[in-house]
Amino acid sequence: MESKNFSNHIELKNIKINDNFWNNYIELVRKEVIPYQYKALNDEIDGAEKSRCIDNFIKASKSVKNIREGKNVPVFPVDKWEYNDENSDEKSFKGWVFHDTDIYKWLEAVAYSLQNHYDEFLFNEAIKCIDLICSAQLDNGYLDTLYIINDRNKIFTDLRDKHELYCFGHLAEAAVAFYNATGNDKLLKATCKFADLICDIFNENGKRGYGGHEIAELALVKLYNATGKRKYLETAKFFINERGKKPYYFDLEKGYDRKDNSNDYFYNQAHTQPVNQKEAVGHAVRGVYLYSGMADVARAYNDDRLFNACKSIWDNIENKKLYITGGIGSTVDGEAFTFDYDLPNDLAYCETCASIGLMFFARRMAEIEPDSKYANVMERALYNTVLSGMAEDGKSFFYVNPLEVLPEACHKDSRKSHVKPVRQKWFGCACCPPNLARLISSIGEYCCTESNENIFIHLYIGSEIKSDKADIKIISDYTDSGKVAFDIKCKKDFTLALRISDTCKGFDISLPYTEKKGYAYIKINSDTLIDIQFDFPIRLIKCSNLVRENIGKVAVMKGPVVYCIEEADNGKNLQLLRLCENPDFRYDKPYIIAHGKRERVDTSLYSEYKSPEGEECEIKFIPYCKWGNRGENEMSVYIRI
């Protein structure tokens, strides 16, 4: 690797967010989302799909007690992804195979939130959950309620589909976060016991398998960083090395005999070894979790080949598979990446979790290689698809984040039934809401990183940062006026590296700097004040003409914020609107108003061509992340010009 001088994110305890825009979201997560999700986990929300998560832990805890007491514990089938009342026994596991992760992600969010704002009541509720989780752990360390309740003999026999290593990964992330935030190590100890079991089972002399849904890789690296136990790092590397080797482990465990040496398991990114992968394929969330783990392992082992695979996958996403909103995953079929430049607006998947995972990948890449392209994408995902995942009141969520919605199509066309025209209270498959909660409450970890001699500012969020190099106060009006001020109390010489956003037209920094790979470097050797003015005019952005849907259309952006049009502001049939080439934009926060034309409705299905007639009108744009807060209505990011 070019430089071994990697950077690390600043720990949450050393960064206090103080930013009008972000305080609002962080408080929303603390006051609304976390308590609301706790109710959801306990199945206490009327009209929402049942979670069954806590219920499964209670059942597993009883199984563990009965096993210890030598009592007969019933066996139920482990043969599906989803177990509901119709297809399973009342006493058996309920919900999706990965439902344990809901409480782990909730706990992780609680941990970050406690670090931002200590709350005795929340801490005590979290401890109750941790006690419950630990009581559901088998004596050998194994912990997954599906198998503990339903069938202990089938443990780790269906790695491709059953998510045990995925659940472990979220457990480990929660445990590390909770320990870091509170010093309470009960969950961490339980997790290490499970991790030890995993390391004993999966190795060169044991099972040579790996999870069908990745995340254990990055989680084991986190666990290694928290505990210093090297075998966790080695097992992360082992999972990445084994993945995609032929004969495929997934074939072996299912007893398939693949005679033709064909490639398979693109969906799980297991078609070939990660080190040989060059583009993003398959299930998007799995992909970005794997790529994050690859970046971690490449960094820890200084592995150039693996890092080059990460870079090539990154470039493929950034330049060919990324929606303007920072969404990824172009199809519901496998919730997956498709092919280069295939970015349909109305059929998009763009799962909230996928953009969150993209931020994980981006930060890791930025830590290894200081190039602004990573944080540019991180910012794009954050301000658009990630934030759009949650309603303004924090009480409902999008799983899928399309760029164009016609509610009637969502209701009547089954190809679009994955697109919900309004946010949902909760989901049977509820991966996204708790993922959002953990991301927003740990946003400080994405703002800046530091290496031996540099502090990198990736996101311009108002904050107070403490490091051994300096205490830095950032006052930010970034998304609005583009102004950011730094007040630096210097403790020792260092270089401040400020990301130059790819969405600014120009910028002005009050001190001399040198520019490299999208960062402006400023030497700091005494207390210093710096002002940056980013020029964020309202801009029309076009897509490559290889994206067929968007020919003749543009999107409107101001800084990193993508805008859209909604029926609530512009009436029905948004497809009839056209922007003037000189739209004379007016910014009236949060709206952008522009001049355009509305074509007259033409009900005759076919007629002789003549240039369309239309009348002048005002077109009102709203930030994409705010769409869908006024009931069910049409929405579009792209508009004809």
Where do we find the tokens 């990964």?
A: 169
User: How big, in percent rounded to 5, are the helix, strand and coil portions of the chain?
Assistant: 40, 20, 40
Judged by CB under 5 A, the residue of 353, 470, 484, 555 near Zn ion is 353
Closest listed residue to residue 508, CA positions, set 534, 474, 487, 528: 534
- Residue 151: contacted member of Zn ion, ligand FUB, none (CB under 5 to 8 Å, by partner type): none
Q: Total binding residues for Zn ion by CB under 5 A?
A: 4
Residues 418/427, Cβ–Cβ less than 8 Å: no
Compare residues 334 and 614 and give the one whose CB is closer to ligand FUB: 334
- Residue 335: contacted member of Zn ion, ligand FUB, none (CB under 5 to 8 Å, by partner type): ligand FUB
Q: Does 429 bind ligand FUB (CB under 6 A)?
A: yes
CA distances from 189 to 124, 185, 232, 475 (A): 18, 6, 14, 40
Compare residues 431 and 619 and give the one whose CB is closer to Zn ion: 431
Q: Total binding residues for ligand FUB by CB under 6 A?
A: 8
- Residue 73: contacted member of Zn ion, ligand FUB, none (CB under 5 to 8 Å, by partner type): none
Judged by CB under 6 A, the residue of 22, 38, 83, 98 near ligand FUB is 98
- Chain residue at closest Cβ approach to ligand FUB: 285
Question: Minimum CB separation from ligand FUB for residue 381, in Å?
Answer: 16
Cβ atoms within 10 Å, residue 70:
7
Cβ atoms within 10 Å, residue 125:
17
Q: Does 167 bind ligand FUB (CB under 6 A)?
A: no
| C-alpha count within 13 angstroms, C-beta hemisphere, residue 328 | 35
Q: Mask: binding to Zn ion, 399-438, rule CB under 5 A, as x and -?
A: --------------------------------xx------
Residues 640/577, Cβ–Cβ less than 8 Å: yes
Q: Does 335 bind ligand FUB (CB under 6 A)?
A: yes
Q: Mask: binding to ligand FUB, 283-302, rule CB under 6 A, as x and -?
A: --x-----------------
Compare residues 112 and 399 and give the one whose CB is closer to ligand FUB: 399
Judged by CB under 6 A, the residue of 52, 213, 423, 458 near ligand FUB is 213
Please report, to the nearest 10 degrees, the dihedral formed by the alpha carbons of residues 38, 39, 40, 43 taken in order: 130
- Residue 148: contacted member of ligand FUB, Zn ion, none (CB under 5 to 8 Å, by partner type): none
Q: Does 192 bind Zn ion (CB under 5 A)?
A: no
- Residue 213: contacted member of ligand FUB, Zn ion, none (CB under 5 to 8 Å, by partner type): ligand FUB
- Among residue numbers 351 through 380, which ones bind ligand FUB (CB under 6 A)? 351, 353
CA distances from 181 to 11, 175, 186, 232, 507 (A): 10, 10, 13, 21, 37
Classify residue 61 as exposed, middle or buried by CB count within 10 Å of its CB (0-12, 13-18, 19+): buried
Q: Which residues of 549-572 are buried (b: 16+ CB within 10 A; e: fewer)?
A: bbeebbbbbbbbbbbbbbbbbbee
What residue type is assigned to position 427 of the chain?
A: F
Instruction: Give the tokens for residue 224.
Output: 């290694």
Round to whole Å and give the CA distance between 216 and 73: 29
Closest listed residue to residue 472, CA positions, set 14, 157, 158: 14
Question: Minimum CB separation from ligand FUB for residue 179, in Å?
Answer: 24
- Among residue numbers 481 through 540, which ones bind ligand FUB (CB under 6 A)? none
- Among residue numbers 429 through 488, which ones bind Zn ion (CB under 5 A)? 431-432
- Residue 144: contacted member of ligand FUB, Zn ion, none (CB under 5 to 8 Å, by partner type): none
Question: Minimum CB separation from Zn ion for residue 429, in Å?
Answer: 8
Positions marked active-site: 335, 431
Give the interface with ligand FUB as residue ranges (CB under 6 A).
Answer: 98, 213, 285, 335, 351, 353, 429, 431
Give the interface with Zn ion as residue ranges (CB under 5 A).
Answer: 351, 353, 431-432
